[in-house]
């Protein structure tokens, strides 16, 4: 497969595109929200770590029982690693996830008084927590705006030519320049919902896309 050409972005033009598509997407997905089930920041942190290379549906099935067993950072930190692995095995990559969850909870106890930290700078110091996971926790557990660049956000940002970058961190910074800060979290949710329902990876449904008229890649397979 030929390598896709680098997208050149005019920031003012792209910001205008965002202003047009945002209200349309909000109307299309009035209930857009994070798909992971959680009751507190720790549960969301664990669920987000488990969601790597796993569907949100599977994670929710696993955590329904998991969060009744492990109710605090201390519960995770003191648990046997093999037991954690067994409990999360169906989410895949269970060894690394178990190590990261146990390690992160240990750090939360030792350095943050048993509470999940509320800043990007602190969150990314925890094992298994990168900027995407931190933004998910900040935006959905603490109400701190964050852009979570998952596969849907990356794919749609390229098709909509919002950025020339596919690297999640570089894309996050690019989007932060063109999207009002107060909308960062919701914009991520909207792109994820749209990516799951209409703008799918293999074949986007451009005929039923409410923002197709603003999309450079609409009905153009070469740009998918």
Catalytic residue ranges: 132, 150
Q: Residue 196: which of 166, 160, 159, 151 has the closest Cα?
A: 151
Counts of helices then strands in the chain (DSSP H, E): 11, 0
What's the first-to-final CA gap in the chain, in angstroms?
Answer: 12
Query: Residue 1 carries which DSSP code?
Result: -
- The torsion region of residue 165 among left (phi > 0), alpha (psi -120 to 50) and beta comes to beta
Query: Residues 97-123, buried b or exposed e (16+ Cβ, 10 A)?
Result: bbebbbbbbbbbbeebeeebbeebebb
Do 42 and 87 form a contact (C-beta atoms < 8 A)? Answer: no
């Amino acid at each position: 497969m030929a390598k896709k050409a680098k997208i050149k972005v005019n920031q003012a033009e792209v910001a205008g595109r965002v202003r047009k598509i945002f209200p349309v997407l909000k109307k299309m997905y009035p209930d857009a929200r994070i798909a992971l089930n959680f009751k507190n920041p720790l549960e969301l942190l664990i669920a987000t770590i488990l969601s790597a290379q796993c569907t949100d549906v599977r994670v929710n099935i696993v955590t329904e029982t998991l969060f009744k067993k492990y109710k605090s950072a201390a519960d995770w930190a003191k648990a046997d690693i093999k037991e954690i692995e067994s409990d999360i095995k169906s989410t895949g990559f269970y060894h690394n996830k178990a190590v990261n969850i146990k390690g992160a909870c240990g750090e939360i106890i030792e350095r943050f008084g048993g509470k999940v930290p509320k800043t990007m700078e602190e969150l990314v110091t925890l094992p298994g927590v990168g900027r995407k996971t931190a933004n998910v926790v900040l935006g959905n557990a603490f109400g701190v705006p964050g852009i979570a660049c998952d596969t849907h956000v990356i794919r749609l940002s390229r098709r909509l030519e919002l950025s020339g970058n596919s690297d999640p961190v570089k894309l996050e910074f690019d989007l932060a320049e063109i999207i009002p800060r107060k909308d960062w979290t919701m914009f991520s949710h909207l792109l994820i919902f749209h990516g799951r329902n209409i703008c799918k990876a293999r074949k986007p449904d451009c005929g039923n896309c409410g923002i197709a008229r603003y999309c450079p890649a609409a009905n153009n397979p070469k740009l998918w």
